[in-house]
Structure 1
Amino acid sequence: MMKTLAPAGAMALALSTTAAMATVERSPQSMAILFEPGRYFELGISNVNPKVSGTVGGGALGSGDMTRSYQSLSFGMKMPITPDLDVALIIDEPIGADLLYPTGTGYPLAGSNAEINSVGVTGVLRYRFNENMSAYGGLRAVRTNGEVELFTPSFTYRMSVDDDVAFGWLLGAAYELPQYAARVAVTYNSRLKHNFDASEALTTGLGTMSQDTAFSTIIPESVNIEAQTGIAADTLLMGGIRWVKWTDFDITPPLYESVTGGTLVSYRTEAVVYSIGIGRRFNENWSGALMASYQTDGFTPTSNLGPTDGQRSIGVAVTYTQDNIKVTGGLRYIDLGDATTVPPIGGQFNDNHAIAAGLRIGYTF
């Protein structure tokens, strides 16, 4: 039964692209690749097109769409070392941001922009004690850089951050009942601490202050619970819970803090994402899945660089399998929660959304 339902279970991968605009997260850190049979390789690409706009002054001034579409690439390979020991390598983009407030709108932040880029490399070993129990662990390295320009009524601020590599680890365990295509996997991901070198410049009516500086930022710890079970012939129920301690994340450069007394980006609460879906195998080649997710809110007031709070989504995916190749395509609509940004801007961001599309190619050899 597990072999029969495996293509349907893979649907969740195409729908896992994160579009959580309330945070900078881009990857859900799934360990699903560990449970692919034999030697396995996969390549994924996703495109997220968010539409986020707000107003100030009771709707008198509009920001225009301040988000830009972005693409994410991922790569994974899993291989057996012995009958009971597997190794996997995963390359993804753990965090990111890409935004630009349009010019000419009259909005207080018009022209402001920010970008965060990252690449993560994760190596994992999984040991099977028997057909039911297994444990796994690994190391992760993430390289991150970024830049920001803020144009406000009272000051202009620019910062460029050099590349920094941070290291962390993960530990997990899984319980399986192969005869029912059932599996529960729990993964803990440690936090990663970046120590950035940066260049800052802040201009007011009194002149410009600039300096080379250094500060720390933490990519927070998280826990993933991923589950699936067969509920009928060729039908799979799947879901998950992801908790992230976003209260540990902030970007607070020294010059910016000394002049403004605040942070560039910080989060008021932790986040939990719940997901549930159903997969169905139609014939030897075709499978399909429907999934829905909900992310808790509580970030309001938010940073002006991430003005949404929570989200709800619904997605669909289709997999075509031929011999040892499977191709999965997914489409997801995300309803981004309303938010108010921090003073003194106090923008009202309502009725925003994003559309995410993903394509994943898997090869068993």
Structure 2
Amino acid sequence: MKFHIFVGLLYVLPLNYTSAAALERSGQSVHALFEKGNYAEVSVLQVNPNVSGKVQPVSSLGNPEFSTGDMVNKQHYFQAALKLQPHPQVSVALLFDQPFFTDVDYQFDTNQPLSEIADVEFDSNNMTALVGYQPNANWNLFTGLSYQSFSGDLKIGKQVDYTFFDYHVNFPKDHAWGWLTGVSYQIPEYAFNTAITYRSKIKHSTNASESIWGFPLEIAPQQATEIETPESVNLDFHTGLAGQNFLYGSLRWVNWQDFKIQPTQFAAILQSEGLGNQFNLIDYQKNQWSTRLGFAHQWSPKWITAVEGLWDSGAGNPASSLNPVDGYIGVGTGALYHFNPKTFIIAGLLYLHFTKPDTVQPQSLITQISSFSSLEQPEAWVYHLKLAHRF
């Protein structure tokens, strides 16, 4: 069995999907570091979601509950990696991905001058530099730094009793550093590899601008809003089986339970209403777990195909505009084709059926304001194309 032929197929499909759990989009894989020799890849993904919900009645306007329509926008994003082997015992890699993202919006116009709106966008870019040390053919000890950007914009409007709540906050892009470390063990002649990777949380500080009804909020002295993207642990494995077959899988944990966003002026509004620290603008109720298990077969030196199953626990929040889905189950298939011994292309297709969040009383204020009474059509198709080259 040829270890280097198989490794690329393990990543035919993305590990995570936007809004499946909190702001998660990418599995933050470091697989390129384990490729043989010098290696480069670029991946393009398209996500076609079909998610809609029903908003609870706006009683003061006398309107029945209404459907949001398709509220999660189609998304395109890409990943890239460059790995070099300057010495038999030393490897280096530069990885780019977009780990945290959401893009949800809907608007409902009534016969009254007020509307029901939600428009939530968060985005991040992550550049990771890795160095690995291989003391022998089996072990790889690695560590590195991540340079991450994070930005966001949130607008929510809803009739609360006899007042229309119209709040807008913008989080300008901030850059910050994090770190990661891990270890991998492999037996090349059996196409066996297992690796565990820890990524630290990354602390951002951004001067959020807040407004209500279009007027700037200046209730309290302005302070920077602290946002910490969560720490995570990835466990990956694959092994060769008889008959040119392969088994692979992964387990990922993300610490969303400690994540929160609480802008200065929003916190001041809560203080003025006597609510203290009872609510955050955004937070999550539990940590995320996700896993995948796949089976692959090598038909010839040029062709490999695979099928896999996926599961994501979600982050436990009630249904809202920021949390229209909460985890998923999924199935996927993909194929790898070698143009020549050094260059190959991968195409993958993934179907996700999202778990509907509970519609119980929410905990954070944004889920109270933008909560849903039910969710419909929670599914998505993910298309993936990767081009890779060894040199």
TM-score surpassing 0.5?
yes
Q: Secondary structure at the match of 1:10?
A: helix
Q: Which residue of 2 aligns with 1:210?
A: 217
Whether the 8 Å contact between 1:337 and 1:351 is mirrored in structure 2 is no
The range that moved more, 349-358 or 90-99, is 349-358
Listed one character per residue, the Cα deviations across residues 59-81 of structure 1 (whole Å, up to 9, x for unaligned) are 83212121101111111000012
Whether the 8 Å contact between 1:98 and 1:116 is mirrored in structure 2 is yes
Map 1:67-82 → 2, pairs under 5 A: 67-82=72-87
Q: Which residue of 1 aligns with 2:68?
A: 63
Give 1:233 shift. Answer: 2.8
The whole-number CA distance in structure 1 between the counterparts of 2:314 and 2:345 is: 34
The range that moved more, 286-295 or 54-63, is 54-63
- The change in CA–CA distance for 1:298 and 1:194 in structure 2 (over 3 A counts) is closer
Q: Secondary structure at the match of 1:52?
A: strand
The whole-number CA distance in structure 2 between the counterparts of 1:259 and 1:167 is: 32
The range that moved more, 67-76 or 211-220, is 211-220
Which of 135, 138, 160 matches 1:132?
Answer: 138
Gaps of 5+ in 2: 58-63
Whether the 8 Å contact between 2:195 and 2:236 is mirrored in structure 1 is yes
Q: Which residue of 2 aligns with 1:10?
A: 8
TM-score relative to the length of structure 2: 0.86
2:263 is the counterpart of 1:256: no
Q: Which residue of 1 aligns with 2:36?
A: 37
- The change in CA–CA distance for 1:345 and 1:31 in structure 2 (over 3 A counts) is closer
C-alpha RMSD of the superposition: 2.1
Whether the 8 Å contact between 2:18 and 2:101 is mirrored in structure 1 is no
Which amino acid is the alignment partner of residue 368 of structure 2? P
The whole-number CA distance in structure 1 between the counterparts of 2:260 and 2:294 is: 33
Which of 148, 170, 180 matches 1:160?
Answer: 170
- The change in CA–CA distance for 1:230 and 1:245 in structure 2 (over 3 A counts) is same
The whole-number CA distance in structure 1 between the counterparts of 2:79 and 2:343 is: 17
The range that moved more, 54-63 or 113-122, is 54-63
- The change in CA–CA distance for 1:302 and 1:250 in structure 2 (over 3 A counts) is farther
Whether the 8 Å contact between 2:121 and 2:152 is mirrored in structure 1 is yes
- The change in CA–CA distance for 1:300 and 1:143 in structure 2 (over 3 A counts) is closer
Which amino acid is the alignment partner of residue 210 of structure 1? L
Map 1:326-365 → 2, pairs under 5 A: 326-339=344-357, 340=359, 342-347=367-372, 348-365=374-391
Whether the 8 Å contact between 2:117 and 2:158 is mirrored in structure 1 is no
The range that moved more, 56-65 or 137-146, is 56-65
Give 1:116 shift. Answer: 1.5
Percentage of identical aligned residues: 29
- The change in CA–CA distance for 1:257 and 1:14 in structure 2 (over 3 A counts) is farther
The whole-number CA distance in structure 2 between the counterparts of 1:60 and 1:147 is: 26
Q: Which residue of 1 aligns with 2:60?
A: none
Whether the 8 Å contact between 1:118 and 1:144 is mirrored in structure 2 is yes
Which amino acid is the alignment partner of residue 12 of structure 1? L
Number of residues paired by the alignment? 359
Structure showing greater Rg: 2
2:116 is the counterpart of 1:115: no
Q: Which residue of 1 aligns with 2:61?
A: none
Q: Which residue of 1 aligns with 2:244?
A: 234
Whether the 8 Å contact between 2:18 and 2:102 is mirrored in structure 1 is no
Q: Secondary structure at the match of 1:24?
A: coil
Q: Which residue of 2 aligns with 1:47?
A: 46
Which amino acid is the alignment partner of residue 41 of structure 2? E
Listed one character per residue, the Cα deviations across residues 103-160 of structure 1 (whole Å, up to 9, x for unaligned) are 4489x97332121122111000111111111110000010111212111113111112
- The change in CA–CA distance for 1:157 and 1:45 in structure 2 (over 3 A counts) is same
The whole-number CA distance in structure 1 between the counterparts of 2:72 and 2:228 is: 24
Q: Which residue of 2 aligns with 1:176?
A: 186
2:279 is the counterpart of 1:279: no
The whole-number CA distance in structure 2 between the counterparts of 1:28 and 1:127 is: 23
Which amino acid is the alignment partner of residue 170 of structure 1? L
Q: Secondary structure at the match of 2:189?
A: helix
The range that moved more, 116-125 or 50-59, is 50-59
Which amino acid is the alignment partner of residue 76 of structure 1? A
Gaps of 5+ in 1: none
Which amino acid is the alignment partner of residue 90 of structure 1? L
Whether the 8 Å contact between 1:337 and 1:350 is mirrored in structure 2 is no
- The change in CA–CA distance for 1:354 and 1:249 in structure 2 (over 3 A counts) is same
Which amino acid is the alignment partner of residue 88 of structure 2? P
Give 1:258 shift. Answer: 2.8
Q: Which residue of 2 aligns with 1:143?
A: 149
TM-score relative to the length of structure 1: 0.92
The whole-number CA distance in structure 1 between the counterparts of 2:43 and 2:32 is: 12
Whether the 8 Å contact between 1:52 and 1:353 is mirrored in structure 2 is yes
Q: Secondary structure at the match of 2:170?
A: strand
The range that moved more, 48-57 or 282-291, is 48-57
Give 1:314 shift. Answer: 0.7
